[in-house]
């Protein structure tokens, strides 16, 4: 994509003031309606804001007929960058806006995973979920994946489990 699809600015040039694609340099929200007084619209990079971060952190989704958008792997047919998950994780502190892009914030802990699963599973169910092999984690158990430093992927698996079917 050469120019911004909203304000038509060229790559490397600052977005126009009311561009609805531009991210606020203060909060990372949509600049046109975030409410920040000090933030600016940032520079158009030639790519939709957040897509590079989704690829870096492995956040993908695929549209499944009659089910909607489901979390997916990059290799799944039809998978695209999952900006909704990126922004939701930004609100929870897993990612933080550094004025230019989303970066890893605090690490995800087992208590975060338990909190996600707690409304759907008993304590014993959570324990079993953590120990069982997961197709979402390529056959690894969530506990093993956490030990291997794959906290983000385990959090995605937990949310996908709670929200229903996933690939």
What confidence score (pLDDT) does residue 150 get? 84
What's the predicted TM-score (pTM) here?
Answer: 0.69
- Rounded Cα distance between 9 and 2, Å, is 9
Helix/strand/coil for 97: strand
What confidence score (pLDDT) does residue 148 get? 85
Q: Rounded to 5 degrees, what are φ and ψ at 94? A: -65, -35
What confidence score (pLDDT) does residue 132 get? 93
What confidence score (pLDDT) does residue 1 get? 66
What confidence score (pLDDT) does residue 24 get? 82
What confidence score (pLDDT) does residue 83 get? 92
pLDDT in tens, 81-125: 999 888 888 877 778 888 788 888 877 777 888 888 888 888 899
Angle at 29 between CA 149 and CA 78, to 5 degrees: 60
pLDDT in tens, 81-93: 999 888 888 877 7
What confidence score (pLDDT) does residue 9 get? 93
Strand spans (E) along the chain: 60-64, 68-72, 80-81, 95-97, 102-104
- Alpha-carbon distances of 24 from 1, 9, 33, 55, 133, rounded to whole Å: 21, 16, 9, 21, 41
- In terms of Cβ atoms closer than 10 Å to its own Cβ (0-12, 13-18, 19+), residue 93 is exposed
Task: Give the residue extent of every domain in the chain.
Answer: 1-48, 50-104, 110-163
Q: Which residue bears the tokens 């971060």?
A: 53
Ranges of residues in the chain whose predicted pLDDT is under 70: 1, 38-39, 165-167
DSSP state of 115: H
Within its chain, how far is the Cα of 139 from the centroid?
22
């Amino acid at each position: 994509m050469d120019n911004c699809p909203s304000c038509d600015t060229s790559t490397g040039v600052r977005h126009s003031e009311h561009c609805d694609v531009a991210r606020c340099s203060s909060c990372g929200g949509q600049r046109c309606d975030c409410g920040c007084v000090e933030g600016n619209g940032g520079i158009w990079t030639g790519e939709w804001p957040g897509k590079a971060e989704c690829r870096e952190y492995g956040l993908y989704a695929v549209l499944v007929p009659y089910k909607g958008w489901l979390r997916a792997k990059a290799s799944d047919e039809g998978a695209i960058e999952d900006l909704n998950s990126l922004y939701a994780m930004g609100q929870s502190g897993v990612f933080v806006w550094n004025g230019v892009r989303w970066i890893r914030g605090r690490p995800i802990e087992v208590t975060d995973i338990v909190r996600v699963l707690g409304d759907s599973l008993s304590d014993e169910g959570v324990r079993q979920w953590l120990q069982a092999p997961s197709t979402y984690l390529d056959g690894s158990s969530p506990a093993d994946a956490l030990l291997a430093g794959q906290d983000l992927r385990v959090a995605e698996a937990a949310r996908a489990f709670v929200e229903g079917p996933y690939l």
